[in-house]
A and B are shown apart, each in its own frame.
Chain A
Amino acid sequence: MAKQQKILVVDDEPINIDVLTGLLKQDYRLIVAKNGARALKAAQSGNPDLVLLDIMMPDMDGYEVCRRLKADESTRDIPVIFITAMNQTDDEALGFELGAADYITKPVSPPILRARVKTQLALTQSRKELEKAYATIKTQKDRMEIELNVGRDIQMSMMPQDFPSGPGSESFSLYARLEAARELGGDFYDFFFLDESTLCFCVGDVSGKGVPAALFMAVTKTLIKSAAGSSRSTAAILSRVNSRLSADNEGCMFVTLFVAICDIHSGAVTYTNAGHNPPYIIDANGSMLRLDTRHGPVAGAMDGIDYREDAVVLKAGDTLLMFTDGVTEATGPSSELFSEARLVGLLEQSAQQEAESLVDSIVSSVHSFEGDAEQADDITVLAFRFHGEQPVDSQAVSVCKTWNGLRTTDEVIAWFETFASAHALDVAIRRKVKLVFDDLLGNVISYAYPDSGVGDITVKLALGNGVLVITLVDDGVPFDPLEKSRPDIDQTVAQRDIGGLGIHLSRELMDEVSYQRRAGQNIVTLETRLAEL
């Protein structure tokens, strides 16, 4: 049984107090106040659940008591029932205006008093429960929102941001953006090298929104990468991803996909479209080709589908533009759609743009079209622009394929001496390069294969235009020599930190040094001019 509720009875006439307490004492705990000032004190300290308040009292009347109760934070929520001999409507109106919960006129009818008191107390109880429930819901809602935001951050961090640049990727540029809607969405893009000259990139859009879409997206992205590891055919990749997604797909979710694999030297692209918005190829003059062919249905919907693929060879200056329906179905303030026509119009004017500025201009154009309207869906745009093979003016290229053996540095240095003699490199260059081999190659041999496995190391020399370019490629653990100095684990003389000095020397002695991690390989490229400028 719940604790007995407490009622404060306020009246200056002892006889009235006796009547009221007599009627209520069986069911409630009662406190009594004989004037306004005492009533206020009792309301504050006694914490009653209800106040029965007489209006006509000397000094401070009931209206004033009510006004003060309602003005005080600690007593504001206690319901007040006026009890008075007066029964004029004006008085009642004033009472309610002051915040009274009810009005009972004397002479008091016992059943009516009991019923109204009970009703008020029940109302108060319900209100308190509602407030409590609301607070609980709000706490849970806040927590859920925080968790969803964390989820979205994780989802966004799955999109690669290290767009290819620098040596080895001069023949193309690739850039992508995903603008997430407020709610978790299912858009994604990805790109990764399958080997030194083969790039796979894709864009997808999972049906629906929220956590299920985000999870399905993460699974799809992983499956594509894994399938691409064992096939260069986008049809085979899609068929495999589809059968994996379709199995146990209780939620009947699906994903639209466009997957492409490109030879970055020739521009040859193999692609498969699984129910995705057709991408465009824009050439340098602004003419456009819509890749309308669909090679199968959306992925994940039905098992056992053999997807098809097509091939196209990009010319220098061609851009392959992929997007999700968040672009074309972006809605402006007047409910008008951004539409594919608008996108095409934009592309026609953007033929000369590089991948990054093209993507940026599409995204900002969509945003300005939306104006103040809330972004309803994820917006994803990926552009791959093929520059073609850059003219290679190297007069001489030599490649040495070796491994992480004890004699490797010596062998590479001997091989280099032969190359240097054949091309009459001066002694200063030779000394610098030998130092670089001793330090950087030595580092790779000592540290890149901690599990003492055999690694493939390739050293390439390219001489042309008065510049010698040295490329060191190894398939050891990721290590960017430019990022930080490797601590020297053999150091016996502790005072001066000598670790990383070799890298420092190489950077100082060479004119350009860059690093990339690509397709499981560390690629360090060093350039030195043959003559001092």
Chain B
Amino acid sequence: MDILSSKVEGAFVVMPNGRLDTNNAPQAEKLLVENISAGEKRVIFDFSKTDYISSAGLRVILQAAKLVRKDGRVVLCNANEQIYEVLEISGFLDMINYCSDLKGAMQSVSE
């Protein structure tokens, strides 16, 4: 279960592969902390390859949002129905931008 990541047009895109849960949350956290510290301020979580996320995954998102907060942005995209439901139930959709696809996310994160 890897956490894929890439840099696209000045944004740091994180793609949890399969799931984002207790198992790989530490890995995702480390990746994000390192890159944000190194200057990445625009972070996109692309869930197109993610089956489900648990509360451990939510924490990773929250932590990223807090790290970039002052002068950056976190945007979420491509969630399947269940991930979207989890984001909704947890109130994350009220706090963090969400776009249905990566293109929209790229725009939103650059605003």
Contact = CB atoms under 8 A, between A and B. Distances in A.
Interface of A: 409-410, 428, 431-432, 434-435, 438-439, 442, 488, 491-493, 495-496, 498, 501-502, 504-505, 508-509
A478 B81 CA distance: 34
A435 B62 contact: no
24 contacts: A428-B82, A431-B80, A434-B51, A434-B54, A435-B21, A435-B86, A438-B19, A438-B21, A438-B55, A439-B55, A442-B21, A488-B59, A491-B59, A493-B63, A496-B95, A501-B58, A501-B90, A502-B55, A504-B89, A504-B90, A505-B54, A505-B90, A508-B89, A509-B85
B22 A498 contact: no
What 9 pairs between A and B have smallest CB-CB spacing?
Answer: A502-B55, A438-B54, A431-B52, A431-B82, A438-B21, A501-B55, A508-B89, A493-B66, A435-B54
Q: Which of A435, A439, A496, A505 has the most CB of B within 10 A?
A: A435
B62 A502 contact: no
Interface string B67-91: 0000000000000111101100110
B3 to A, nearest CB: 16
B51 A431 contact: yes
Contacts of A491: 59
A495 B52 contact: no
B22 A493 contact: no
A509 B55 contact: no
Contacts of A498: 55, 58-59, 62
A502 B89 contact: no
Contacts of A409: 21-23
A509 B83 CA distance: 11
Interface of B: 19, 21-23, 51-56, 58-59, 62-63, 66, 80-83, 85-86, 89-90, 95
Contacts, number: 72
Interface of A is mostly: helix
Nearest to A492: B63
Q: Which of A410, A438, A509 has the most CB of B within 10 A?
A: A438
Contacts of A495: 66
B89 A438 contact: no
Nearest to A436: B54
Contacts of B86: 435, 505, 509
Given A409-B22, A431-B83, 6 more contacts: A431-B52, A431-B82, A434-B54, A438-B19, A438-B23, A498-B55
A400 to B, nearest CB: 18
A439 B54 contact: yes
A409 B56 CA distance: 13
Given A409-B23, A428-B82, A431-B51, A438 B56 contact: yes
A438 B80 contact: no
Contacts of B90: 501, 504-505
A496 B95 CA distance: 11
Contacts of A488: 59
Nearest to B20: A438
A442 B89 contact: no
A492 B62 CA distance: 10
A409 B24 CA distance: 12
A91 to B, nearest CB: 96
Contacts of A442: 21-22, 54, 56
A505 B55 contact: yes
Q: Which of B80, B81, B86, B95 has the most CB of A within 10 A?
A: B86
A496 B58 CA distance: 12
Contacts of B58: 498, 501
A22 to B, nearest CB: 100
Given A495-B66, A505-B86, A438 B22 contact: yes
B81 A428 contact: yes
A442 B66 CA distance: 25
A335 to B, nearest CB: 66
A498 to B, nearest CB: 5
Contacts of A410: 23
A264 B62 CA distance: 47
Contacts of B19: 434, 438
Contacts of B82: 428, 431-432, 435, 509
Contacts of A435: 21, 52-54, 82, 86
Contacts of A493: 59, 62-63, 66
Nearest to B83: A431
B51 A502 contact: no
A451 B51 CA distance: 34
A442 B85 CA distance: 21
Contacts of B53: 435
A434 B51 CA distance: 10
Contacts of A492: 63
Contacts of B54: 434-435, 438-439, 442, 502, 505
Nearest to A496: B62
A492 B32 CA distance: 14
A434 B52 CA distance: 8
Contacts of B55: 438-439, 498, 501-502, 504-505
Contacts of B95: 496
A438 to B, nearest CB: 4
A509 B90 CA distance: 11
Contacts of B85: 509
A508 B87 CA distance: 12
A509 B89 contact: yes
Nearest to A507: B89
A438 B54 CA distance: 7
Contact of A505 (B22, B23, B89): B89
A414 B23 CA distance: 13
Contacts of B83: 431
A291 to B, nearest CB: 53
